[in-house]
Amino acid sequence: MNLKEKFFDIFDLYVEKKTSKKNISNLLKMLLPYKTDFELIRLGDDNDGGYLIPDDLTNITKNYSAGIGNLTKFELDLEKLYSISSKMVDLNDVDPKLLPKKSEFRKKKIGISSFGENLSINDWLKSEKGEIILKMDIEGDEYPALSAITDENLNKIRILVLEIHDLRHLRNYSFYKIFKQVFSRLNNFFYVCHLHINNVSSIKKIGGYDIPDMLEITLIHKSRVKKFSNEFAILPNKLDQRTINNKKEIFIDKKWYID
């Protein structure tokens, strides 16, 4: 142990390598949405529980939702408007009256392997043959789950809807590396087509950029986009709503685009 480590041990401190401004800038540009062939539609509840997705639902066979709580209108809308049934998991009890009639619910937690209360993302998706929607809001567990998902299962996902958490940790180089690996891989398969800040978030200044702790992000499989223009989508979208109505909306820092 060197003198620096001894000093930190005395005061019960731990110091991690800080992420550079250049790394933060490059990463944020990976999250910005692009215009695609498809207009966006809003499904689900007003405010929390509503999501913007591409209007490209023809021949989708199933929706998979991980982490639902008591907000099931997204799944209800898919079943009622598009005849898309859902498979749903949540570790909490969910009132059966809230579930769509043709849905399947399992009291499980999505993870990287199946044991006890945990269900592997790959075990969950492996029997699906057609194209699907995958919606995940699992409080930070999205990173290991998305790291573990196979290429085969990623290619089943036409539309991917995520709430991503804990972005305050991007200042920490170790977290940044994990986050970048996850989204670099997703960018091999998908284009980001929408981004919205959950206004419950606190905002941290990281590398000179205002970064919210939680983002709602929608991606579409690259195979669906025939004319990619490399033009950023306009934010906010006219269909966006505050996640929590009694808090001020938060908008993307314009410096994400220009630095």
User: Cβ contacts of residue 151 below 8 Å, gap of 6+?
Assistant: 189
244-252 mean pLDDT: 95
- Residue 116: pLDDT over 60: yes
Residue 199 burial class via C-beta count within 10 angstroms: exposed 0-12, middle 13-18, buried 19 and up = buried
pLDDT in tens, 191-244: 999 999 999 999 999 999 999 999 999 999 999 999 888 899 999 999 999 999
Measure the CA–CA gap between 63 and 142, rounded to whole angstroms.
Answer: 17
Query: What is the set of domains in the chain, with CATH numbers?
Result: 15-258 (3.40.50)
Res 71: pLDDT? 92
pLDDT in tens, 178-190: 999 999 999 999 9
Tell me which residue of 248, 197, 207, 199 sits closest to 33, measured CA to CA. Answer: 197
